[in-house]
Amino acid sequence: MLVSIRKLGVGRKARLTEVHSQFLIEYIAKYPAAILSDIRQNLCDALPGLSISISALHRHLVRKCKLTLKKREKSPAARNSDRVLKLPKEKIEEWEAMSDMDFVRNCVFIDEAGFNLQTQRNYGRSRNGTSAKCIVSTAKDMTITILGAISHTGCY
């Protein structure tokens, strides 16, 4: 069995330096959904005199910057607002204050799931071992909410 071993110091010197790497890390932290052509364009605009192929940029992002492409976690901008976080707590406190509350006979448990119909990229770049998170605006398009309820009589 033949195994080839690459000698250190052999090959072409890398065009991208630590300054380039730092710019790329900061840029992708700000724009995790940026595509490689946009990243290359902004890198060349910010640091004039640089010419690099998209494949070389991708290799540098993965090998040197430790930035990989992965599925993004999208969360609506209003999800963590104070108003939204207080609503369930206030409702629970209201229900607990009711004297005729019987969880077996007269309660309906409700859950909701929301779907944002706004079209965006599903993948983004982030450091190895971290998720690619982004906050999406719900103002541009419609959000659909599905409510489900269950009680001792059945599901609704």
Q: Give burial (CB, 10 Å; 0-12/13-18/19+) of 7.
A: exposed
Token pair of 47, please? 């640091």
- Average pLDDT of the residues in 30-37: 88
> Would the pLDDT of 127 be above 90?
no
What kind and span of H or E run contains 155? strand 154-155
Q: What is the pLDDT of residues 49-96, one digit of tens each?
A: 888 999 999 999 999 998 888 877 766 667 677 887 788 788 778 877
Question: Is the predicted pLDDT of residue 142 greater than 80, yes or no?
Answer: no
Contact assessment for residue 53 and residue 113, using Cβ atoms and an 8 Å cutoff? no
Question: What is the percentage of the chain residues whose pLDDT exceeds 90?
Answer: 17
CB of 121 closer than 8 Å to CB of 136: no
What is the amino acid identity at position 153? Answer: T
Res 113 pLDDT > 90? no
> Helix 18-30 crosses helix 36-46 at what angle (to 10 degrees)?
130
Tokens read off for 6:
């690459």
Q: What is the mean pLDDT of the chain?
A: 78
Q: What is the pTM of this model?
A: 0.50
